[in-house]
Amino acid sequence: MKNEYNLIATAAFGLESLVKREVEQLGYPITATENGRVYYTGDSEAIIDSNLWLRCSDRVLLKIGEFKAETFDELYEQTKKLPWQKYIPKNGAFPAAKITSVKSKLFSKSDGQRIVKKAVADKLMAAYKTRTLPETGASFPIQIRILKDMVTLSLDTSGSGLHKRGYRQYGNEAPIKETIAAALVMLSRWTPSRPFLDPMCGSGTIVIEAALIGKNIAPGLNKEFVSESWPMFRIGQWEQARREARLKENDLDFRIIGSDIDARSLKQARTNAELAGVTDYVAFQRIDLKDIRTKKKYGVIVTNPPYGERIGEIKTLTPLYREMGRVFRSLDDWSYFIITAFPDFQKVFGEKATKNRKIYNSTIKTYFYEYFGPLPPRRKPREDRAERADNEKDEKQE
């Protein structure tokens, strides 16, 4: 019988609904959702699937326990009661890696980490009947969350954040996290049958994430995870999951575009795309925003322009946002989506969004403005058959 675990997928504020949908699509039941967290249950395969496939989550935690503690003595005693020996072997390392404390009497983070570490150590020494713990084996990072005196203790199964896909060796001055970039593409409802453009692509993160989505490439495929050597997993279980993930990649043929005025950023974008393995599906061009033209219909723009808090002054960016509104509206039948913290965006842009949602890009409160254009007309079955016949004829001639 497989062990069932309580899992938590963390996310940037504003992306919980997307992460919830992703977990459900993986086939795991949701138990609760709150700010920045999606709770669900699953076995060891769920931990692997979540780390390999969740595009919008920051990391995957294995929940050990939850309790109320108003004093550090209570924190110690309640932590010690939890079954740490079920997860951490005798030689396992167990750093108190991260702590957050909000609206709690336990406001000293360093004391909280020290006490949790001591309680876990005392529990493990009692369970293994030893006076020392070498901590020379696999790492089991402990995450401590204290909210209004409610303590949640978890083991971090991801290690480095899931946004670190492994391809972004270079970033421009204002990078967007890969997880947020993927979320923006998903919120745009883009499909590979439609044109895609990021006209201020920088080092290419949004374009690359769109390509990964279009090809159904697992975002964690080229990452290493801290939990891979944990005893709950069978030997070869992670590699088997990676092989299965590669088989799920599709054979769709598409090309999506990123453009920018900065040649150095475009060079970085091309390198990042190569490292991500999507060079055949993306193209980067040096084009000024004002010069963007296309005859293609029903396309999608997703972009992360500069917004004053990070690059330059707001006054110098106002003309950019006016120009952006003019250019985007000139693209017949296109949909466009902009994430920004720029004040009075809609007024300067010149058009009210169909919808906007608040998303925290690291510590910056941004809004994602959604302008939905018309969907492409549905193709008739006869047109699809004719196109397939033409493709088959071309292949024979080649």
Q: How far is residue 124 CA from its own chain's centroid?
A: 34
All structural domains of the chain with their residue ranges? 5-156, 178-371
Residue 353: both structure tokens together: 């969004």
Q: In this predicted structure, what is the pLDDT of residue 396? A: 42
Report the residue count for the chain. 398
Spatial separation of the C-alpha atoms in residues 72 and 76, rounded to whole Å: 6
Tokens at residue 84, please? Answer: 């740490």
Average pLDDT, the chain: 92
The residues, ordered by sequence, that sit 6+ positions from 101 with a Cβ below 8 Å of its Cβ are 107, 108, 109, 112, 146
User: Rounded distance, CA 59 to CA 161, Å?
Assistant: 6
The pLDDT value recorded for residue 392 is: 45
The full DSSP string for 55-104 is SS-SEEEEEEEEEE-SSHHHHHHHHHHS-GGGTS-TT-B--EEEEEEES-
Q: Report helix angle 16-26 to 178-188, nearest 10.
A: 80
* 178-371: CATH class: alpha beta
Say what the pLDDT of residue 169 is.
73
pLDDT computed for residue 173 by the predictor:
58
Helix axes 205-215, 178-188, angle to 10 degrees: 60
CATH code assigned to 5-156: 3.30.2130.30
Ranges in the chain, pLDDT < 50: 310-311, 383-398
Using DSSP's 3-state secondary structure scheme, residue 285 falls into strand
Task: Taking each helix axis as running N to C, give the angle between helix 237-247 and helix 44-53, from 0 to 180 degrees, rounded to the nearest 10.
Answer: 50
Predicted pLDDT of residue 384: 47
Q: Whole-structure pTM over 0.85, yes or no?
A: yes
| pLDDT, tens digit, 9 for 90 and up, residues 72-91 | 999 999 999 999 999 999 99
Q: Do 5-156 and 178-371 show the same overall fold?
A: no
Give the per-residue pLDDT at 172.
56
